[in-house]
Chains A and B, each alone.
With several copies, the nearest count.
Chain A
C-alpha cells in the first residue's frame, strides 16, 4: 500500500488487514474482478458513464447542508452530507451503479447481493432494472420481517428476494448465502457486495465507488468555507459510507470518526479474525465463532467491519466510537425536530455521537455523512417510541 487510503497492493492488504480468503472455486472470479475493476477504473469512458449516471439518474452531487438549528443546539457547526437525497434513499446507490456498470462491462447478465436493512438490496434491484440485468437478493429472515417496506420495493423492481433461514438469519448469513450461490453461477453472475467488505478487490472497489461522497463533501465544504472541517463523522456498518467519506478527507487535518452501534461494534468490541473473505475485526466468542450483532438498525447489524477501517484504527488515523439504541432513537428525533430530516437509524448513529461528544466538539466544524433516509425505519421507530399505541394500522 502506497499511502493511507491509496490503492492497496495486489493482495488487497490494508496493513495487516484485508486479503482474499475465498475458496479456490471463487478465486478466479475475484482475480478477474480485480483486474476488470483496475482496468475500468482507469478508463475515462467508464468513469464518465459512472459519473453521468450518478448525476443524471441518482441525483448527485448530493447537498452538503449547513444544519443551522442543529448547529445551534450543539454549539458547533454541523454540515450534513445528504446521501438521504440520493435515489433509493441512501449512499448504497453509488456503489451499486459502479458495480452494475462493471458487471455489464464484464459481460454478466445477473447481479446477486446480500442485504441487511434492504437499502443495498433496493439499490441493487434498482441498478439491475436500470441496466436490464436480473437480480436476486439474499436477506436474513429476521431482516425480511423488520424491513418489509424494502422487501416490497425490491420485488416491485423485479428482483427476487430470498429469505435466508440459516444461522442468525441476519446480514452475516445473507452474505454466506450469497457467496454460496455465487459459486454456482459465476459464469453469468456478478456478486454485488454492499459494503467495503469481503475479499479483495471489494473493500477497495466499494470504497472507490463511494469516495464520491467524500470528494464531493470536501470540495463543497471548501467552496462554502475556504477551508477543511475539524471533524468528519460517519456511521459504520460494513463501513462503506464512512470509507467513502473518509477518502475525501484523509489527507486533510480533519479528525475522522466512525460510529458503530454498541451492539455491533466490530472495531470497538471485536477482535482480529478472518471471515467473509477478509482479515479484519469481528465479534467473536472465545473460540472464534462469529457472534451475532444486535442493534436497532438492521444496516449496522454486521459483526465485522471493512478491513480498511481495521487498518485506519490500527494506525490511529480514524477513531471508532459506539452509541447505543436509546441514543440513536433520541438522535433520530432530534434531527427530525430541529432540521425536518427523518434519517435512517444507521445514519442517526453519527448524530447520536455528536450529542454524546457535545463538549468535545464545542465551536468546531463537523462534516457528518447522513447516509440515508428513514422511511424504511419509521415503523420500527414508531413502535419503539410508542406512536402506534391504540392506533389503526393498515
Chain B
C-alpha cells in the first residue's frame, strides 16, 4: 500500500513529501499528523520514541525525550493510531530493539492492526533484517531500506533487491538534523541511486527547506523526508498555521521544481 501509493504519485508526476512527526511528544500529536497531511504530505513518518536514539540529532532526541517523559510507549502510540485512519500511508520509524522486544511476529501484527503501512528501522541493516523482512512481508508491512552516501554500488544493488515501499536515500553523513546548506552528498546520492531502481526514491536527513527539497528532486529523487526542520518548529511552540505554512512552502517548492 505504501509503495503502491507512492508509485502512483510518482507516475502522476507528483513529487513526494514525507514529514516526520514524533509520536507523543505533545498530547496533541495526532493533530500534527492531520496538519501535515492537510498541508501537502504524501505520507507521514511517525517516530516511536526510543531511549537510545543513536542516529538522531538533538531535535529528534529532544522530541523523543519529551514523549518518553510523558509515558509514551510503543503500545500507547499504536493504540492511538488504531483509533484513527489517514488519507495517506503511515510509516513508522523507530529502533529495532522495540520490535525485537515485542517479538517480531507480534510487532508486525500490532503495526498492521494500527494501520501502519511501512517501517523504517535505521539500525537494522540488510544483513540483519532477513527475518524481520520476511515476517513483515507476510503481513503486508513494507520495510523501507536505507542507502547512504558511502554505500558501495554493489551493496546498493543488494539493498535495492530487498527494498520495499520506497528507497530512503540518506542525504548527509550525519545524524538527523537541520543544515543551513544542503550537503553535496544529498544531490549526489539521488543522482547515483536513481538509475538503479524504479522504486520511489526519497532523500532524508538534512533536508531543511523548500530550496533544498527542490535541489534533490532536480538531482533525480522523487521526493524528501523532512524531520528535524519540522520538529524544531514544533518544539519551539510554533502555531498550527506557522507549521502549516512551513510544510506548504516545501510542498510548493517541490511542486515547482
Nearest A-chain residue to B49, judged by Cβ: A289
Enumerate A286-316 residues with CB–CB distance to B below 8 Å.
287-291
Nearest A-chain residue to B102, judged by Cβ: A288
- Output the residue of A23, A166, A172 with the most chain B CB within 10 A: A23
State the CA gap A264–B125 with chains docked (Å): 28
B100 at the interface (CB under 8 A from A): yes
Enumerate A234-288 residues with CB–CB distance to B below 8 Å.
271-277, 279, 282, 284, 287-288
Nearest A-chain residue to B185, judged by Cβ: A25
A-facing mask of B225-251, CB < 8 A → 1, else 0?
A: 000000000000000000000000000
Once A180-B54, A180-B55, A290-B52 are accepted as A-B contacts, the answer to whether A20 and B122 lie under 8 Å apart by CB is no
Nearest B-chain residue to A187, judged by Cβ: B173
Nearest A-chain residue to B150, judged by Cβ: A28
A205 at the interface (CB under 8 A from B): no
A27 at the interface (CB under 8 A from B): yes
A-facing mask of B67-84, CB < 8 A → 1, else 0?
A: 010000111000000000
Q: Are B151 and A183 in contact (CB under 8 A)?
A: no
A-facing mask of B120-141, CB < 8 A → 1, else 0?
A: 0011111110000000000000
A-facing mask of B131-171, CB < 8 A → 1, else 0?
A: 00000000000000111111110010001000000000010
B61 at the interface (CB under 8 A from A): yes
Q: Are A25 and B123 in contact (CB under 8 A)?
A: no
A106 at the interface (CB under 8 A from B): no
State the CA gap A22–B149 with chains docked (Å): 15
Contact of A21 among B68, B124, B155 (CB under 8 A): B124
B-facing mask of A346-385, CB < 8 A → 1, else 0?
A: 0000000000000000000000000000000000000000
Q: Are B123 and A22 in contact (CB under 8 A)?
A: yes
Q: Are A287 and B125 in contact (CB under 8 A)?
A: no
State the CA gap A69–B58 with chains docked (Å): 39
Question: Shortest Cβ distance from B93 into chain A, in angstroms?
Answer: 12
Q: How many residues of A contact B (CB 8 A)?
A: 37
B29 at the interface (CB under 8 A from A): no
Chain A hits for B101, CB < 8 A: 271, 273, 284, 287-288
Q: Indicate the size class of the contact surface on chain B.
A: 35 or more
State the CA gap A179–B61 with chains docked (Å): 14
Contact of A180 among B50, B57, B100 (CB under 8 A): B57
B-facing mask of A176-215, CB < 8 A → 1, else 0?
A: 1001100110100000000000000000000000000000
A11 at the interface (CB under 8 A from B): yes
Q: Are A19 and B128 in contact (CB under 8 A)?
A: yes
B45 at the interface (CB under 8 A from A): no
Q: Are A184 and B52 in contact (CB under 8 A)?
A: no
Question: Shortest Cβ distance from B78 into chain A, in angstroms?
Answer: 11
State the CA gap A179–B174 with chains docked (Å): 10
Once A20-B127, A24-B148, A25-B150 are accepted as A-B contacts, the answer to whether A288 and B98 lie under 8 Å apart by CB is yes
- Output the residue of A24, A166, A275, A290 with the most chain B CB within 10 A: A24
Nearest B-chain residue to A32, judged by Cβ: B150
State the CA gap A246–B5 with chains docked (Å): 55
A167 at the interface (CB under 8 A from B): yes
State the CA gap A180–B68 with chains docked (Å): 20
A175 at the interface (CB under 8 A from B): yes
B65 at the interface (CB under 8 A from A): yes
Q: Are B174 and A184 in contact (CB under 8 A)?
A: yes
Q: Are A27 and B125 in contact (CB under 8 A)?
A: yes
Enumerate B40-67 residues with CB–CB distance to A below 8 Å.
50-58, 61, 65
State the CA gap A173–B68 with chains docked (Å): 16
Q: Are A179 and B54 in contact (CB under 8 A)?
A: yes
Q: What are 24 pairs between A and B in contact, CB < 8 Å?
A: A19-B127, A20-B127, A22-B123, A23-B146, A24-B125, A25-B170, A25-B173, A27-B125, A27-B126, A167-B51, A176-B52, A180-B56, A183-B174, A184-B174, A184-B175, A273-B101, A276-B54, A284-B97, A287-B74, A287-B101, A288-B98, A289-B98, A290-B51, A290-B97
B-side residues, CB < 8 A to A, are: 50-58, 61, 65, 68, 73-75, 95-98, 100-102, 122-128, 145-152, 155, 159, 170, 173-175
- Known: A276-B52, A287-B74; 4 extra A-B contacts, CB below 8 A, are A183-B55, A183-B175, A274-B100, A289-B51
